[in-house]
A = this chain, B = another copy of it.
Amino acid sequence: MATIFSYSFDEYVDLVKSFHGHVAPGVAIGGFMVDLAFKTLPAGIRFQALCETPKCLPDAVQLLTSCTAGNGRLKIVNFGRYALTLYENQAGKGVRVSVSPKKLEPWSEIQTWFYKRKPKKDQGFDLLMSQVRKAESTLFDVQKVRVAQSFTTTKRRGAFAICPRCHESYPADDGEICLGCKDEATYGTGKA
């Protein structure tokens, strides 16, 4: 039976729906990826996560591990690759799990979805999900990797200052005004 950590596939899919807002095949596949990466890591170590796409995969990590966007232990880079790494925090050694184009070949509907070969309305959602459930962890390659030091070191913030432009608090190291005020493209009509 397909399981993802302690969950049955159906239980995990319910979690996905509740957190992600809908049953996203990418978060379902991501569940097997996180499960496989975790099983391949040495037991009992504290780890962080690196997702190589912001699409779907970060939510599988957040549902199944204690790495979240807000606690600093989930990093997201936009490489457009459906891959994630779980790694220990000292040397950055870890396990990278990625979707293998070769291993997708037996699964027609997963391929159709993964490569967006049909508009969403023409995809067979039930067939897709049943293939995801059956394929379990067979879709992936696993590699031992070491992430760069920038992903293992947390920069401690120094002193805070009040920005003379927006009058909000910001890290003084960022300069004479805050990065929000330096960036004029965020708020179309001006914030203040």
Q: Cβ of A170: which chain B residues have Cβ within 8 Å of it?
A: 79-81
Chain A interfacial residues counted at CB < 8 A: 74
Cβ of A69 under 8 Å from chain B: yes
Q: Are B21 and A101 in contact (CB under 8 A)?
A: no
A70-B56, A162-B101, A168-B83 given as contacts; is B187 within 8 A of A145 (CB)? yes
A24: min CB distance to chain B, Å: 7
Residues of chain A whose beta carbon lies under 8 Å from any beta carbon of chain B:
19-22, 24, 26-27, 30, 50, 52, 54-60, 62, 66, 68-74, 76-83, 92, 96, 98-102, 114-116, 143, 145-151, 157, 159-160, 162, 166-171, 174, 178-180, 183, 185-189, 191-192
